[in-house]
Amino acid sequence: MLTPKNRIYRTFMYQPTDRIPDQEFGTWPQTVRRWVAEGFPWEWAEEIGDNMFHPRFNEFIGVDTDEGGGYAPVLLGMNPVFAEEVLEEDEHTQIARGGDGVIAKRWKGGSDESSIPHYIEFPVQTPADWAAMKERYGLDDPTRTVTERQIADARQAAADGWQVTGWATGFYGALRSWCGTENLSYLFYDEPEMIADMLEHWTALILHSLNQLPADVPVHSFHWWEDMAFNHGPLVSPAMFEELLVPCYQAVMDVLRAHGCTLSSVDCDGNIHALVPGWMSAGVNVMFPCEVAAGTDMFRLREEYGLEVRLQGGIDKVAIAKGKDAIDRELDRIAPLVRQGGFVPHLDHLVPPDISLADYMYYREQKQQLIGKK
C-alpha cells in the first residue's frame, strides 16, 4: 500500500514532508460582512453569503489547495427527508420545519444575528418517534449502495498517492440531531433501550457502507463530527460515554483498521479532556479543533498521551482579536508543539467578527512563517 503524499497525513504520521499543511477552519458570515469595509472584495462577500466554508474565503486567505485526495463513501442520509414547511414568519425571522424534521426559528439571511437558529422542537422525543425515524434510515435503502464508480475513484486516488478519507457524524451527534441536547440528556436515563437501539442502528449504517468496500481499497483516515462538550466538560457523563458510545467507535474503527486506517480525527468543540481516553482507546487519535477558551489544553494532552495524540487547531481565536503583540505571543505559545510534530495549527473555530481583517491577515502571515510556508 502506497504511503499518501498529503502533508496532513505525513505530518500526523511523523513522516518527512516539505512543511506543515496550511489549513484554517472557516469564518462566520458576519466576519466577512464586517471585512468589506476593511478591504475584502464585496463581490466575493456577496458570493460567500452565509456559507461558513466557501472556497472564495479560502482563496482570499491563501490556504493550501494544491493536494488531492479520495473519499471512502459512508452513506448516512435521511431518506425520505421531511417536507419543509414555514410555520410562522415576520419581517426579520422565520419559524420553519426543515428537511431534518427540526422546527427552528431563524433570522432571515444577511442579518448579523443569523448564525445560530433557536431550536424549538426535534422530531424524536419518544420511542414511537424513533420507530418512525428509523424507517428513514433503512439499511436496505438502495441509496445506501456504494457504487462501482465510487470504489474506482477511491482506488485510483490511492494509486496516485493521495490519502483516502471517510467521514461520519458521530454517535452522540446523530442522536442529538434527532432529539436535541436537552431531550437527549433525559432519554439516556429514561429510555435506555431506545438509546441502545439508536446507537446500534447508527453503527450498523456506518458499517453497511464500509463493508461494501473491497479489501484492496485503503482508507487512510476517518473523520468524526461530534460536538458533545461545552466549556465545563462533556454533555454526557464520561462513564456513560465509555459504556455506550466507545464500543460503537471501536466497532467501526476495527473495520477501518482492516483497510489500513491509522488516523482518525474527531471534531468536538468545548472541553474534551474527559472524553479523550475513550476516543484514544478506540483508535480516534486526532483531536480537533482544541478550543482554548473552553479549556482544552493541548500541552496537557501531549503530557498524558505523548505523540500518540495528534492535534489540529488550537490557536486561540480570542488572542487573535487583541492585535499584533497578542498574536505574536499566541504563536510563540504553540511553537513548541509545532516543533514536536503531529500538529496542524489553525484557529480553534470559525473566525469571529471581532477580529479585524488587518489583524487576521497579520496572523496568517506569521503563521505561514511558523509552518515553513514562507
Tens of pLDDT along 334-368?
A: 999 999 999 999 999 999 999 999 999 999 999 99
User: Where are any strands of DSSP class E within the chain?
Assistant: 70-71, 85-89, 93-97, 103-107, 118-121, 164-169, 221-225, 229-230, 233-234, 263-267, 286-288, 310-315, 343-347
Domain closes at, from 102, 122, 142: 122
Total domain count, the chain: 2
Tens of pLDDT along 98-143?
A: 999 999 998 876 555 556 789 999 999 999 999 999 999 999 999 9
Is 238 inside any structural domain?
yes
**For residue 152, with 0-12 CB atoms within 10 Å meaning exposed, 13-18 middle and 19 or more buried, which class applies?**
exposed
Q: Answer yes or no: do 69 and 11 share one domain.
A: yes
- CATH number, domain of 187, equals 3.20.20.210
Q: Which of 2, 166, 204, 205 is nearest to 72 (CA)?
A: 166
- Report whether pLDDT(319) > 80: yes
Is 2 inside any structural domain?
no
Tell me what pLDDT residue 112 has. Answer: 58
Is 347 inside any structural domain?
yes
Is 363 inside any structural domain?
yes
Tell me what pLDDT residue 222 has. Answer: 98
Q: What is the mean pLDDT of the chain?
A: 96
Is 192 inside any structural domain?
yes
Over residues 294-312, the mean pLDDT reads: 98
Q: Answer yes or no: do 102 and 225 share one domain.
A: no
% of residues, the chain, pLDDT over 90 = 94
Q: Answer yes or no: do 112 and 18 share one domain.
A: no
Q: Answer yes or no: do 299 and 177 share one domain.
A: yes
Residue 193: strand pairing partners: none
Q: Answer yes or no: do 13 and 113 share one domain.
A: no
Q: Answer yes or no: do 162 and 185 share one domain.
A: yes
- Report whether pLDDT(304) > 90: yes
Domain of residue 88 covers 83-122
Tell me what pLDDT residue 110 has. Answer: 57
Is 1 inside any structural domain?
no
Residue type, 318: V
Is 216 inside any structural domain?
yes
Model confidence at 91, in pLDDT bands (50, 70, 90)?
confident
Place of cell 496568517: 364
Over residues 27-41, the mean pLDDT reads: 96
Q: Answer yes or no: do 327 and 342 share one domain.
A: yes
Q: Answer yes or no: do 98 and 203 share one domain.
A: no
Place of cell 431550536: 119
In whole angstroms, how far apart are CA 104 and each of 123, 133, 174, 222? 11, 18, 18, 31
Q: Answer yes or no: do 226 and 132 share one domain.
A: yes
Q: What cell does 40 get? A: 475584502
Under 8 Å between Cβ of 175 and 107: no
Measured distance CA(287)–CA(313) in Å, rounded: 8
Q: Answer yes or no: do 152 and 300 share one domain.
A: yes
Tell me what pLDDT residue 50 has. Answer: 87
Tell me what pLDDT residue 107 has. Answer: 82
Over residues 55-84, the mean pLDDT reads: 96
**For residue 345, with 0-12 CB atoms within 10 Å meaning exposed, 13-18 middle and 19 or more buried, which class applies?**
buried
Is 261 inside any structural domain?
yes
Q: Answer yes or no: do 132 and 171 share one domain.
A: yes
Q: Answer yes or no: do 168 and 72 share one domain.
A: yes
